[in-house]
Structure formats: structure tokens, C-alpha cells
Structure 1
């Protein structure tokens, strides 16, 4: 079957995820994950990208340098994946590249979304066809341009008899509702921060960017007053369609809600609880008494403490592993963009208007020949 590569660099800014995916021309045959890898970002590149996401003014030379460095990193990830399987670039039908989101403002005037990417250079460096710029066509049609993965979730996880919720715990958490009744729409939206604030607070106070297994959060005590202040942000009450990112939820946002007397470990515990509570509140209206499964993907799925808190808030839900469906929690998002590249080359819509709020289905992405 044709092979595609999906590239994803998410809000967490931890690395380039590259997924090699086998996709048949027949839509009834499910896509199959062949292999995947994560190529970590260098500290210099990560810090440069983080600075760009927080800059009020951007120097275009700096922007171009960072974009080129990111593209070279993407090409390296593709090269390593192909070398692993002794594949030539001609064996890849297309690369689906999401790019690195710098700013996402679907409710701006005018609405805009900016993904740092250079698909022309990526095609040159890899010798592969590249499909990129997936988001702006949906936004041009009046949509939020995010999340885009729910249409892929529908193809991979849909079930005829049970409601399924797919939760991606990346930097931002997003939730997809798949109903067994085909007449009901797929629902998908960003619930709020997942790992973004947890990682940023850990990086400020501890060695390293990740609270492994949520051990530091588990050592702290929940600050109920702080949690209440965090949950007062209007985004948590806003109905879907909605999407968000680092431009709204960041350390300065958190600092404005601290009174300065909190223990750092207690803040970490409270940030983990913020993710668990905001996800649970968003999911609860879609829990079906006849049976509901929750499939968790993204880096947060490896955070033991966070998963325990989610289970405590959603005891009526059955937690399923992505691995049960032939997909790793780490590579589902990258796999989605390989699949969206296939949709683009097949001239099939890549968005769900009921999810993004677009005026109709749209074929997403531009094609860059090798």
C-alpha cells in the first residue's frame, strides 16, 4: 500500500514527531502505523521557537533562520525514518507537514493562524512530495482551523455501539466525541491547557522541562483557591467550536493569578488538577450511560499522576489504550497529518465543519512537488 509520512511539532515544543503510515486507496481499509520516531529539538532551536511564540514584535531575519532550522530538523527526521526501512524518497507518496504553530487567533480581527513551515524547502531537502498549510483553508471558510484530527479519529476509532471520546493531551488538550449514532455530528474542540503549563512551571523551578510521571505534582497539595481562580478564565465556559494555544495560556497568565504565597510543588499539583478538571467538565456532557470509552493520546497519556486524576473525575468512563487499535499514544497526531496528506491528494475534504465551524467541507493543504 502507499506510504506517507506525517510530521508534527506541537505546542509542547519537545521535538519533531515523524510517523510512517501505510494508507490504502480504499477508504474502508484503515490506515496502519508502520513506524515512528521523535527527533528532539536542540535547546537553541526550542528556545528560539518559544521566543517567537511569545514575541510582541518579530524580526523577520530571526523568523527565517528559525524556520529554516526547523525545516532542516524535519528533513532529518524523515531521512532517519526512511533509512531505518531502507526506503528511497520515491517510496513515499507524500509528507504531511503540520508545521510549528507560532500564533493562533481564530477570533481575531481578522482571524489568523500562523504555522512556521517551509514546505518548498522540505520538498527540496527530502526529495518527497509535501502537503502543508492545512489550517488556513478551513479558516478562510469561517472555521477555527482547529482541531483537525477529529476526522482522523472518526476513521480510526469510530464504533457502531459505543460512544467514544478521544483525548489528546499535548501542550493543549483537545477532545473528540464519536457517537455510535451516525446521524449525530462528530464534536471536537480544545478544552484548555494540558502539558503546556505543567511543563513550563516545572522548567522554571526544577531541572528539565518535564515532570516525569507527574511525580512532582503528586508531591504537592491541591490549592483549591488557586484552582478556582484559574477556572474563572472565560475560555473554560465558552461553548464549542473553540480552539486555543500558547498565546492565551502561558506562564504570565498563571503569574497573574498567583498571590505569591504558594509553594511551587502545590502550584504544580494544582496545574495538573486544572487539566484534569477542565477535561472532565468538557467530557461529561458526552458521557453515554449505555457505555463510553475514553482513548487518551499525546505526551500526557504517559503522566501517571495526571491519568489518575482524570480517572478520579471520570469514574463512569472506560479508559482504552491507543495501542489496542494499532496506534501509539505518542504518534497519533503525526499519523493524522499523514492521513490528511492522503485526503488532500485524493481531493477529499480534510475538515469537519461541525467541529471547526467552517461553512462547509473543504479540501485542505497545498501540494509541493519534489
Structure 2
């Protein structure tokens, strides 16, 4: 079964796509990655989306407009991916998270925009969407859902392996002999991106190659203010997002510190915040091998900082396990689509805190009647991924 996975993460910069051809061979799930792509949002749509994110007030009219515009952007990305990589049996669309409702240590709801009917109408392919909420109704956080992919990938590694994703938010999946658990650590690129955008430091809206952080100096006093955030001391499972870690959060920390740093020094300090919070979490878990993915892997200041902070932990890119670091989440959502189509749960309870595994998402039919494969009784115990000759 060939599944196209689509996601725009907490960086809110565009849509990652991965088409994976899944087969089951001798009880092992094999995935041939046949297409990878990234489609940036138009500057106008990204600006409109960012303006609507918490803590900004927003009208229901604007929510409806964004639901359509993001859905159309996802439809365009899906059509381009299918044209380049060949047809798929199913599209899994994560959409764009605009609000993740957490109070204390409990997730109460989540909202992703990007109406899937636009994808189904444009491509004629059935779509699985709204994949997080079922886990939340079962007592989970609906995040990090990538832990189902991590569970399969980490099983062949010795010691205490973990998978770290450095997107807008950093999250980690840890696999112990006693089982798996996962959680959001804190901001990875979210706060840096907000400052880069605010000060116009780079047209991309992010610290390309860590060049801005490399020219700045960490402000120890401001770093201490930032590290005092109570979220870091909450027990897992836990999840967070830009509802907490946004530009206003940075401005408040700067005000409490009493001194306004130069923009490059602020970027350097926020980058060091990610290094410190991630390293603290990794050491607390006793991780021996850390498999790193996400946009943050392209920031050498961040990655080198983690290597210095974790001398006893082996850091490897997820590419070494067959998973391209920049498209890992899109591949994970292709896997979730395959699971739901075969009647299999797309969650690991230890990864989200849910009371039990759940089949995820809602199906929107394509051009023809919706036909799903025969259900499988159990999830294959292992997954191997390989990159086909990509167009």
C-alpha cells in the first residue's frame, strides 16, 4: 500500500511530504521511500497564519478562512507530490496545528486546520486526517505521535536508545527494556524563529545554518530566567507548543531579566536554552544513543552544543537508520495512515500517556468509494526503511 504523508509542524513554515510504499514480508514491515519534498507556505499565508496563533485573538471567520487556505495549500502540495512520485492509495494529512489545549499536565483538546476535502477533491485520493484527537480522548496528549515510528526504529539499538526531534518543539522517545515513553521537552526552533522573524534577521524566518547564533554571545542571566520555566520540571507524559513558547514569552523573559540583549545575543541564548533543556532530559534518561532528526539538525551551533553537553551519548542522524532527518515526521504520518487503513493502532500508550492504543484519524473518500485493505490482527514487530531512486 502506497501512502503519502503530509505535515506542517510547529515551525509553521511549509508542508513536508513523503510517499512510502509499504509491504509486509515475512512478518516485517518494509517501507520504500519513493518521494520526498518540501513546499513552503507563501509569505502571505505564513504571515496570516502566524498572526492568528496564540496568544493573539482570532475570529471564527479567520479560522474558517485559514482552514480553507491551508487545505488548498495542502492540496497543492499533495498534487505536486503525486505527480512527481506517482499515485498513492491514501494521503495522510496532519494539517497545521494552531492550538494545543493543555492545562497542568493534561491535554484537553487540539486543533489542526487544513480542510482535507480540498486534498480529496484535487487528487481523487482518500485522505486520513484529524489524527491526534482520538489519542487525547483516550487520556493521551496526542503527541508525540512520531513515537510509533521511533518504537520500530529503535528496537535494533543496544543500551538505552532515544529519538530526538528538533522541530519548533523538541520531543524525545526513549526505549527501555521495560517499555517506551515519549514527551515534548520544550522549544527547539520555535523561540529562535520568532526572534529572527521579529527582527528581520533572515528572510527565511529562521537561523539558517546557525549563522546568527554563531555571531552572538549567550547571556547567562537571561538563560537562568528562561530555565526557570516550570514546564521543564513537569513529569512525563507532557506536551507543549507555541501556546506557551511564543514571542511574547521571550519578551516577558527579557523584561524580567532587566536588560535587552542584542538580537544575535538573544538568538544565541535561545539556542543554548534548547541545548541545555535537551541535554538535561537526555542525561536524566541515561540515554546511550540519541538518533536526531528535524530541522534543528541543520544548525551546527545547536548540534555541536549537544555533542559537547553529552560526551557520553552517541549522537547519530536518523538518516543512519534510513529515515531522512528533515522528512521523518512526514514518513511517520505515512506510517500512521498505513496503520489506520489496516485497522491497527497508530499510537504507543507509553509515547502519549493514553490508557490504551487507538486507531487514529477520520477518512475522507476520494473520487471513488472508500475501500480499505483487509484488517491485520497485529502490528508487524519491525520496520525497515530504504530510499528508492527518488525522482
TM bracket, shorter-chain basis: over 0.9
Please give the residue correspondences for 1:3-14 in structure 2 after superposition, counting only pairs within 5 Å. 3-14=2-13
**Secondary structure of 1:347 counterpart:** coil
Aligned Cα RMSD in Å? 1.6
Shift of 1:5: 0.3
Distance 1:106 1:145 in 2: 11
**Secondary structure of 1:58 counterpart:** coil
* Structure 1 runs not aligned, ≥5 long: none
Please give the residue correspondences for 1:186-335 in structure 2 after superposition, counting only pairs within 5 Å. 186-205=180-199, 206-208=201-203, 209-258=205-254, 259-288=258-287, 292-335=288-331
Note if contact 1:162-1:293 (Cα within 8 Å) is conserved in structure 2. Answer: yes
Note if contact 1:15-1:41 (Cα within 8 Å) is conserved in structure 2. Answer: yes
Please give the residue correspondences for 1:164-175 in structure 2 after superposition, counting only pairs within 5 Å. 164-175=161-172
Shift of 1:250: 0.7
2:372 is aligned to none
- Which stretch has the larger CA shift, 155-164 or 117-126? 155-164
Shift of 1:24: 1.3
Please give the residue correspondences for 1:110-149 in structure 2 after superposition, counting only pairs within 5 Å. 111-149=108-146
- Which stretch has the larger CA shift, 57-66 or 358-367? 57-66
Shift of 1:293: 1.4
Distance 2:107 2:274 in 1: 30
Shift of 1:252: 0.6
Distance 1:35 1:142 in 2: 35
Distance 2:216 2:74 in 1: 38
Question: Does 2:102 correspond to 1:106?
Answer: yes
Note if contact 1:192-1:244 (Cα within 8 Å) is conserved in structure 2. Answer: yes
Shift of 1:123: 1.1
**Secondary structure of 2:323 counterpart:** coil
**Secondary structure of 2:347 counterpart:** coil
- Of 148, 151, 169, which residue of structure 1 is paired with 2:148? 151
Shift of 1:55: 5.3
**Secondary structure of 2:151 counterpart:** helix
Shift of 1:60: 2.4
**Secondary structure of 1:29 counterpart:** strand
Distance 2:150 2:107 in 1: 30
Question: Does 2:349 correspond to 1:353?
Answer: yes
1:78 is aligned to 78
1:65 is aligned to 65
Note if contact 1:101-1:115 (Cα within 8 Å) is conserved in structure 2. Answer: yes
Shift of 1:355: 2.1
- TM-superposition CA deviations, 1:263-317 (whole Å, max 9, x none): 22211111000001000111112225xxx21111110010011101111111111
**Secondary structure of 1:84 counterpart:** helix
Give the number of aligned pairs: 359
Distance 1:172 1:306 in 2: 14
**Secondary structure of 2:89 counterpart:** strand
Note if contact 2:71-2:115 (Cα within 8 Å) is conserved in structure 1. Answer: yes
Distance 1:195 1:186 in 2: 25
1:163 is aligned to 160
- Which stretch has the larger CA shift, 45-54 or 25-34? 25-34
Note if contact 2:107-2:239 (Cα within 8 Å) is conserved in structure 1. Answer: no
- TM-superposition CA deviations, 1:201-223 (whole Å, max 9, x none): 11222132121111111111111
Note if contact 1:152-1:339 (Cα within 8 Å) is conserved in structure 2. Answer: yes
- TM-score, normalising length: structure 2: 0.88
Note if contact 2:71-2:113 (Cα within 8 Å) is conserved in structure 1. Answer: no
Note if contact 2:19-2:88 (Cα within 8 Å) is conserved in structure 1. Answer: no
Shift of 1:156: 2.5
Distance 2:170 2:72 in 1: 28
- TM-score, normalising length: structure 1: 0.93
Note if contact 1:53-1:102 (Cα within 8 Å) is conserved in structure 2. Answer: yes
Note if contact 1:30-1:156 (Cα within 8 Å) is conserved in structure 2. Answer: no
